[in-house]
Amino acid sequence: MTSLMKRSVAELVGTLLLVYFGCGAAVITLTTAARESGPLQALSIGSLGGLGDWLAIGLAFGIVVAAVIYGLGRVSGAHINPAVTIALFASKRFPLTDTVAYVAAQLVGALLGSVLFFLSVGMDAVTIGGLGATAPAVGITFGMAILAETIGTFVLMMVIMGVAVDENAPPGFAGLAIGLAVAGIITTLGGVTGSAINPARSFGPAIADLLLGGPNVIGALPIYFIGPILGAIIAVFFYDWIVKEN
Amino acid sequence: MKCYVCAKLGRDTDAVAICIVCGMGVCMDHAIREDTEIWEGGYPFPAKKIKHKLPRILCPECSHAMKGDK
């Protein structure tokens, strides 16, 4: 097995790419809408393309997830999501030391992904796009947002269990199936919570916004840690229970 | 069974192995034993190389073809 250091670097790079391209797609949606409707308009994702905006963002996330799984999956396992790593640890499938290193690498990678996107696009990415940071939509309470994130990540983790962790899973399809699941979840839940289903994906843009003078969404961060971690852990134990033969 | 390579050279040598690719009988001089690394695991776990290797026997021609121009 590759050393923990190299595997952590793989997780860092994988999460960096996820945030750069996935959150980047959200930023580009907003900057495009600003160009079309003028900067003084109140903008949100969906202003121009409705649910199509979220489908495009979901596909950007899904495709990069698939690419990272196929590219780095055999090196580190390509979790690129602290909720997935913690859920595998909770079900005794992943050691504690590796879990700590992976989660740290994923958070740092997400932050670097946001900073690199800012360096690629400029200040509009921060002031108009908020670096793709997540916050609940108007009318969505803290509890509702946690519930939505829990359900979304439950679906993601259940798919991971079914197509990858399960020894009877058909080989070769994990990246495609998980990427499509991510795209589908984001298409629906994007307009509710921003659909992080990944604490690192929310952490990177939120911290980078704070450092670069963007919107302050730190208060919403607990939603994106509690919901996804809870959903992933429930999914692991649910899957283990549902497939267990009597 | 006789060694195919030796037979083509006009020699009569008993085969001690069979090439796993083409099925040719080969003598001790022409049998090439190679070990293949075995990896297990993969997404969402890191793949790891297991200690044991998978031995296989090839004739010189197949060994050359499998390695390409390396």
* Residues A45-95 pLDDT 10s: 877 778 899 999 999 999 999 999 999 999 999 999 999 999 999 999 999
Residues A81 and A190 sit within 8 Å (Cβ to Cβ): no
- Would you call B46 and A79 a contact, using CB atoms and an 8 Å cutoff? no
Answer yes or no: do A78 and B44 touch at CB < 8 A: yes
Scan for tokens 């090196």, then name that residue. A75
Of the partner residues A1, A78, A93, the one whose CB lies closest to the CB of residue B43: A78
Higher pLDDT, A60 or A171: A60
| pLDDT of A40 strictly over 60 | no
Nearest to A26 by CA among A226, A186, A203: A186
Q: Which residues in chain B touch residue A69, judged by CB atoms under 8 angstroms apart?
A: 43
Q: Is the pLDDT of residue A205 over 70?
A: yes
Token output for A239: 């899957």
Q: Is A161 on the interface with B (CB under 8 A)?
A: no
Q: CATH number of the domain that A43 lies in? A: 1.20.1080.10
Interface confidence, given as ipTM, is: 0.71
One-letter identity of residue B30 = H
pLDDT in the model for residue A44: 80
Cβ neighbours, 10 Å, residue A140: 17
CB contact under 8 A, A73 and B44: yes
Determine the pLDDT at residue A246.
Answer: 72
When comparing pLDDT for B69 and B29, which is higher?
B29
In this predicted structure, the answer to whether residue A178 has a pLDDT above a threshold of 60 is yes
B46/A1 touch (CB, cutoff 8 Å), yes or no: yes
Q: Where are the alpha helices (DSSP H) in chain B?
A: 4-8, 60-67
E strand segments, chain A: none
Percent of chain A with pLDDT over 70: 98
Residues in A closer than 8 angstroms to B40, CB to CB, are: none
Residue A135 near residue B3, CB atoms below 8 Å: no
**Does A78 touch chain B if contact means CB atoms closer than 8 Å?**
yes
Neighbouring CB atoms inside 10 A of A95's CB total 12
Residue A200, helix vs strand vs coil: helix
User: What angle in degrees, to the nearest 10, is found between the helix axes of A96-121 and A24-37?
Assistant: 30
Domain carrying residue A24: 4-243
pLDDT (tens digit, 9 = 90+) per residue, B24-66?
999 999 999 988 888 887 788 888 888 888 889 999 999 999 8
